[in-house]
Structure 1
Amino acid sequence: MERQVFPFTTRGGFVEQLAACLPRAEHTLRLFDPDFAIWDLGGSATDAVLRRFLKAGGRLQLAAHDGRVLEREAPRFLRLVKDYGHAVEFRRTSQSLRQLTDSFCIADERHLVRRFHSDHFRGEAVFDGPADINTPLERFLTIWDESGAGMFANSTGL
């Protein structure tokens, strides 16, 4: 496949590109956002895509500063995590990383959707661009290594 780049500047553009990226993943999905508030991880379409991905043996890694939005507003996503807990891992960022404000999804180290700042919708999607993934992947791995296990602190045991 040939590298494709799609810039976006609106919430709809972000949602559209994320919806195009998630089903492309076969092995790994790595997600970082301060709180995942606008990702619609609890939506039925996203749930269906993530369930197919996880059922096929995919691994999902999420890192965030705060998981309360997902706890409150995404019961479907929490059920998915309960059903596929062996394939989903959460990390909560340490205090030293709380200044990070970007937001991104990396699928199979080939596809990327990123917002340059989590308070804005300006960003880009890159499909079939493994060279474009190097810096965001290094960033994610650094965030991952410097974050603690467990994102949620509720009775679900996540």
Structure 2
Amino acid sequence: MSSTQPDVKPLFTGAWEGRNFFGDLIRQALETAANERWKLVVLSDPDFADWPLGERAVVDALQKWASKGRQLHFLARDFRFLQARAPRLVQWRVTWDHLVQARACQGAAAEALPSAIWSGEWTLERLDLVHARGVATNDPKRRIELRERLDACWQQGAQAFPASTLGL
């Protein structure tokens, strides 16, 4: 019997290391978000400079994920790199503005800003940005702890990364 569901590889859990592995985890997480219909996804990083968010496969996964009732939250210190280097994502963000919220964190909130993906099912956190080391888990305690830190940054952040800029 043939299945109509795509082959879904379980998300990696455990300690990880390396920029390539980090990028692969992001791609896999967003594909899983689409396949499993995650309601809320939070992407957090100081500037997203080494995230593969401009890649066609990533934007295709976000397109597949996008649907009524879903939310994508971005947290960063600065969105300039993302806006300059990820035109596919920027265009996708314009189309799906009603699902996307973004905040820029400054001061103490920016210093505490995790480099992470959060969902109600799984989290990834890059603990060492220089050496690209981190942990991915579906452990409820770790998900709650990360969500609390993300919420603190969100509450202190200001709206940013608009879908369009109005002006004369």
- TM normalised by structure 1 equals 0.86
**Separation in structure 1 between the aligned mates of residue 155 and residue 113 of structure 2, nearest angstrom:** 17
Contact 2:11 2:32 in 1 (8 A): no
> Which protein is bigger by CA-based radius of gyration?
2
Deviation at 1:3, TM superposition (A): 9.5
Unmatched tracts of structure 1, length 5 or more: none
Query: How has the CA–CA distance of structure 1 residues 83 and 4 changed in structure 2, closer, same or farther, with 3 Å as cutoff?
Result: closer
Distance, in Å, in 2 between the alignment partners of 1:38 and 1:86 is 26
Counterpart of 1:7 (choices 15, 18, 34) is 15
Per the alignment, do residues 56 and 115 of structure 1 end up closer, same or farther by CA in structure 2, a change over 3 Å counting?
A: same
Supply the AA of the counterpart residue of 1:124.
V
Give the aligned partner of residue 133 of structure 1. 143
Say if 1:42 and 1:4 are closer, same or farther in 2 by CA, change over 3 A: closer
The residue type paired with residue 129 of structure 1 is D
Change (3 A) 1:156 1:139: same
Q: 2-side partners of 1:69 and 1:44: how far apart?
A: 17
Instruction: Measure the CA separation in 1 of the matches of 2:14 and 2:28.
Output: 11
Mapped to 1, the partners of 2:81 and 2:48 lie a distance apart of: 7
CA deviation after TM superposition for structure 1 residue 4, in Å: 6.1
> Which whole-Å CA distance do the structure 1 matches of 2:130 and 2:148 have between them?
22
Inter-partner Cα distance in structure 1 for 2:132 and 2:102: 24
Aligned 8 A contact 2:27 2:52 in 1? no
Moved more, 57-66 or 81-90: 57-66
Give the C-alpha shift of residue 83 in structure 1: 0.3
Identity %: 25
Partner of 2:123: 112
Q: Distance in 2 between matches of 1:120 and 1:90?
A: 27
Aligned residue type for 1:80: W
- Counting only pairs closer than 5 Å after superposition, residues 1-158 of structure 1 correspond to structure 2 as 5-25=13-33, 26-55=38-67, 57-100=69-112, 102-107=114-119, 109-126=120-137, 128-151=138-161, 156-157=164-165
SS of structure 2 residue aligned to 1:119: coil
| Higher relative contact order (Cα pairs below 8 Å, separated by 6+ residues) | 1
Q: CA deviation at 1:110?
A: 1.6
Q: How much does 1:17 deviate?
A: 1.7
Q: What RMSD over aligned residues (CA atoms) do the two structures have, in Å?
A: 2.2
Q: So what's the TM-score if we normalise by structure 2?
A: 0.82
State the secondary structure of the residue aligned to 1:137: helix
The amino acid that maps onto 2:19 is R
Q: Which amino acid aligns with 2:55?
A: G
* Deviation of the 1:31 alpha carbon: 1.2
CA pair 122-72 structure 1, distance change in 2 beyond 3 A: same
